[in-house]
Amino acid sequence: MQTIFFIGQEKPLSNLVNYNALKLFLKEDYLVVTTTEISRKYEFTNKVISFESKWTRRDWVKYLDHLMLKNLFSNSRNTINLMLRTRSLGPYKFNSIYSLIIGGKYLFNFVKSINWLIFLNNFRNTPEELLNSLREKKVIGEGDRNEIRNKISKIKINRAVIFTTFNDPVLFDFIAVCNELNIQTLVLPDCWDNISTAVTIPRDISHLYLWSLQQLEEVRVSFSHLYSKSKVIGSYRFQKYQKNNFSVKKRDRPKEIFDLRILYLESNLFEDRNFVLERIVQSIMNSRNFGESIKKAEILVREYPGVHQSVAEFENEILHGKNSKTPKHGIDIIRSDNTSLKEDLIEVDIVFSELTTAALEAAHQGIPTVFVGSSKSPRYITTSKSYNYSFARDLRKLFEVINLDCDESIIRISELLNRLMKSQSTSLHSVLTNGVKHLNVSFFLEEFNYEAWAKIMDLDMDRI
């Protein structure tokens, strides 16, 4: 019997490649099923079945609009309501008459885009039934079910392995076809937030393999019909690095030049980076160790590697390279050009991070990690407001989460740096714990259980 490796969107595939994990999951005898667009970008050694997806961006957004509105009047997940707000009223704050007018235009277009008769008739129906109704009335296109069915129905297939963000319209048609053909689907989320920010998850998934207990709890609360099908298996993105076995070069400037190395991690949200860095620099300068035990510091800024929000009129004010207006005597601010996060974590003393998975990876290496945010962005979902997402709900039980808008944040960061320099240990708890001990990093992430995966896939461990 054949195993399918399904890729409906590029991001999960890109992550598998970047973390050198594709070969761990895509075995030589697996059949790759993907879109023509993806098959043209990536060279697979496996046999590939590709198809031209008929899903358009317009169709997917329209479907999500109906689902987000459905959420508002049903289980009302707060994370989805935040997304609905930016979709229906625009991505920016209301701080002027002009912004209110723009918000009104967004609302008019949103209300106009909803097929209210279909919505009301499917108010209590499943997302799949809503999708079928939208297609029957030709509100959105036919999608890919027929094409996928024609491609795989004559092949003897018993299971499909799927990595996904769930923000993938092709996935919904693929799962539906697999359900029709009695093909087991083994689904693995791509990122930390995927369960929380998924507007919906296909109901007919056979097995859902999660990163952690935190994701399992998200499933229990938001997708209870999938709870019995879910199991924690961890993520390939979390592996303990052997610090003396890095396969990458050390940075050109030796560690001994710097008494303190800080890594700043961006999320995909727009942030006033000058403001953030000024806060961190001021905290360093206010530290009682600066100028004494700390004479030279470096802040390495790792920009978000994927699609990043931007605001055109603000771009010239945001730090690029060393073009900062911040007074930084004895403090270097540079932009990382490394592809791999692993490279940026070399010899880092502390990490300051917006809400991003990379922060968990840093914490997993035992590097003191502090989450930060501010409301300086003109966008409605600021780095500060992002901590209202449900997947970030328990962060304060383990990590410092600092609001940089408050002047007290400079004092707090200075205190943390003083403690860090005083401590001989880089233990996350011994340096940065805020007193709550019943959680640890494994609540948010676990290393992938390759032995369990080998049993599931009937593989020898030597093949993994």
Give CA angle at 194 (192, 197), nearest 5°.
120
195: Cα separation from own chain's centroid: 10
**Which residue in the block uniquely carries the two structure tokens 């303190």?**
260
Residue 371, both tokens = 């989450």
Q: Do domains 2-54+143-237+447-463 and 243-443 have the same CATH topology?
A: yes
Task: Give the pLDDT of residue 286.
Answer: 85
| Whole-number pLDDT of residue 76 | 82
Report d(CA 238, CA 210) in Å as an integer. Answer: 13
Nearest to 374 by CA among 272, 306, 268: 272
CATH class of the domain defined by 2-54+143-237+447-463: alpha beta
pTM of the model: 0.88
CA distances from 53 to 165, 348, 447 (A): 18, 44, 34
- Whether the CB-CB separation of 300 and 344 falls below 8 Å is answered with yes
Tens place of pLDDT for every residue, the chain, 464 residues?
A: 799 999 999 999 999 998 999 999 999 999 999 999 999 999 899 999 999 999 999 999 999 999 999 999 887 899 999 999 999 999 999 999 999 999 999 999 999 999 999 999 998 999 999 999 999 999 999 999 999 999 999 899 999 999 999 999 999 999 999 999 999 999 999 999 999 999 999 999 999 999 999 999 999 999 999 999 999 999 999 876 544 443 333 445 555 555 789 999 999 999 999 999 999 999 988 887 666 667 788 899 999 887 777 765 555 444 443 444 444 578 889 999 988 898 999 889 899 999 999 999 999 888 899 999 999 999 999 999 999 999 998 999 889 999 999 999 999 999 888 888 776 444 434 445 443 334 578 899 999 999 999 999 987 665 55
Q: Please tell me the predicted confidence (pLDDT) of residue 308.
A: 74
| Other Cβ atoms within 10 Å of 395 Cβ, number | 18
User: Domain coordinates of the chain in residue numbers?
Assistant: 2-54+143-237+447-463, 57-136, 243-443
Residue 58's H or E segment, with its range, is: helix 57-72
Determine the 3-state secondary structure of 301 from DSSP.
strand
The 3-class SS string of 250-299 reads: CCCCCHHHCCEEEEEECCCCCCCHHHHHHHHHHHHHHCCCECCCECCEEE
Residue holding tokens 């990163």?
211
Q: Quick one: CATH architecture of 243-443?
A: 3-Layer(aba) Sandwich (3.40)
Predicted confidence at residue 317, as pLDDT, reads 46
CB 51 within 8 A of CB 151: yes
The H or E element that residue 131 is part of is: helix 127-136
Q: Tell me how many degrees the CA angle 445-450-452 measures, rounded to the nearest 5.
A: 95
Residue 418 is predicted with a pLDDT of 84
Vertex 56, ends 158 and 207: CA angle to 5°?
A: 25
Q: With beta carbons less than 8 A apart as the criterion, state whether 232 and 211 touch.
A: yes
Q: Residue 263 is encoded by which pair of tokens?
A: 């890594």
pLDDT recorded at residue 91: 94
